[in-house]
Amino acid sequence: MDRGDIELIRVLQDETIYLEKSPFKKAAESLGWELEEVLERTKRLKEAGVIRRFGAALTPVNAGFTANAMVAWEVERHRAEQAAEVMAGHHRVSHCYIRPAFEGFPYNVYTMIHGNSPEDLNNIISELSKIAKVNSFRPLHSLKEFKKSSPVYFPSKKS
């Protein structure tokens, strides 16, 4: 990544441009670049995986997924990867990570699961438990959202 990429990334984070007819032209104008340069570099960033996805983020609740939970699973170290892969393959699992366990909390595989109803969610959890062969888990239902925001990369003013 060079300096140009960083300048472009700053501008692409302005979500208002995607509500314009020609978002990338807008980006080009504010950078003082040619449109082609913006399109090419953006595609390159996507190919390189720096942009892992370009598109819309659903609000799961509002797209019909009314029951969502983070579920932490306790899996023996030697088969944690295998179990995580199986869970990640489920189409209602949006995120799946191995994280360290800590004192009093032996769970090491984390999943975000999305269901249409509490029953649906419970069914998915049972299904995952079965297919990944993990019996010890803890659903961490959210009680309150304190914050949900997009990260800000390369802020132009240092705070």
Among 58, 106, 130, 135, binds other proteins (CB under 8 A): 58
The distance of closest approach from Cβ of residue 130 to other proteins in the complex, given in angstroms and rounded to an integer, is 18
In the chain the first and final C-alpha atoms are separated, in Å, by: 23
- Does 31 engage in binding with other proteins (CB under 8 A)? no
Answer whether 83's CB lies under 8 Å from 134's CB: yes
Q: How far is CA 82 from the centre of its chain?
A: 21
The distance of closest approach from Cβ of residue 126 to other proteins in the complex, given in angstroms and rounded to an integer, is 18
- Does 152 engage in binding with other proteins (CB under 8 A)? yes
The distance of closest approach from Cβ of residue 120 to other proteins in the complex, given in angstroms and rounded to an integer, is 11
- Would you state the structure tokens that stand for residue 30, as one six-digit string? 């504010």
- Does 122 engage in binding with other proteins (CB under 8 A)? no
- Does 133 engage in binding with other proteins (CB under 8 A)? no
How many Å apart are CA 2 and CA 64, to the nearest integer? 41
CA atoms within 13 A on the CB side of 67: 12
Q: DSSP string of 66-84?
A: -EEEEEEE---GGGHHHHH
The distance of closest approach from Cβ of residue 8 to other proteins in the complex, given in angstroms and rounded to an integer, is 10
- Does 53 engage in binding with other proteins (CB under 8 A)? yes
3-state secondary structure of 50: coil
- Would you state the structure tokens that stand for residue 18, as one six-digit string? 């995607």
The distance of closest approach from Cβ of residue 39 to other proteins in the complex, given in angstroms and rounded to an integer, is 6
CB atoms within 10 A of CB 132: 23
- Does 19 engage in binding with other proteins (CB under 8 A)? yes
- Does 150 engage in binding with other proteins (CB under 8 A)? yes
Q: What mask of x and - would describe binding to other proteins in positions 72 to 111, judged by CB under 8 A?
A: ---------x--xx-xx--xxxxxxxxxx-x-xx----x-
